């Protein structure tokens, strides 16, 4: 069975009403990144950071998967599909995708503030100050902040190297190390790039699809599924 590897960014979730990670003014939901998405911010004002991610989690839980999410899930009927996402929402899973790797964590889980390998489900949208892990440290959102290691990047690179078909959706390839994953895809593999504004990529066998995710992904998945029936 052919292996499709998909790398998704904020653009696929934007159509579900979730704000892109960083708007054109450099802010995220009105906050400077340094105020809410760094280890220093957590040490300086953990209550603010906790409140910020509680609001983001509430937005995620209120959002619904869109046509692009469902289309990717449908590919599993004919292909082996691995989705590598830069997004911290759970919309891929809720749409039915069964093999999703979250590079930057997932907001519906919490983690120990001293050992990031200790993660826990969150009941509802609110994670409160005073809730602690088994080591006695405060729980925080299971999200990779700026300045922290991205532990899933090496496994993701290995998966990209195994792709028979590669699909890039809704990402400007501006955030590293995630942006470098496309370089691990073999030269001979067809690489579909779906975005209203196609990012510059200096690799072989690129097929640009200049469209928003819900339009471009649906068209491509229909084509891929139809090719299996011929």
The catalytic residues are 104
Q: From CA 206, how far away is CA 200, in angstroms rounded?
A: 10
- Sorted by sequence, the CB contacts under 8 Å of residue 159 that are 6+ apart come out as 5, 82, 84, 101
Per residue, the 3-state secondary structure of 82-120, as one string, reads EEEECCCCCHHHHHCCCCEEECCEEEEEEEECCCCCCEE
Contact at 8 Å (CB) between 179 and 161? Answer: no
């Amino acid at each position: 069975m052919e292996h499709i590897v998909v790398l998704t960014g904020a653009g696929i979730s934007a159509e579900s009403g979730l704000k892109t990670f960083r708007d054109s003014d450099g802010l995220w939901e009105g906050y400077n990144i340094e105020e809410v998405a760094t280890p220093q911010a957590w040490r300086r004002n953990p209550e603010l950071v906790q409140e910020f991610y509680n609001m983001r989690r509430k937005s995620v839980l209120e959002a619904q998967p869109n046509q692009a999410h469902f289309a990717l899930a449908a590919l599993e009927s004919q292909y082996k599909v691995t989705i590598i996402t830069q997004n911290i929402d759970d919309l891929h899973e809720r749409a039915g995708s069964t093999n999703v790797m979250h590079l930057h964590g997932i907001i519906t889980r919490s983690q120990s503030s001293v050992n990031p390998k200790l993660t826990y489900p969150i009941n509802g949208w609110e994670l409160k100050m005073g809730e602690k892990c088994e080591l006695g440290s405060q729980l925080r959102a299971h999200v990779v902040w700026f300045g922290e290691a991205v532990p899933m990047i090496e496994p993701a690179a290995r998966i990209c190297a195994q792709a028979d078909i590669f699909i890039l959706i809704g990402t400007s390839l501006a955030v590293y190390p995630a942006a470098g994953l496309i370089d691990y895809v073999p030269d001979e593999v067809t690489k579909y790039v779906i975005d209203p504004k196609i990012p510059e990529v200096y690799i072989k066998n690129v097929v640009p699809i200049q469209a928003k995710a819900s339009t471009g992904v649906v068209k491509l998945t229909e084509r891929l599924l139809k090719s299996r029936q011929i």
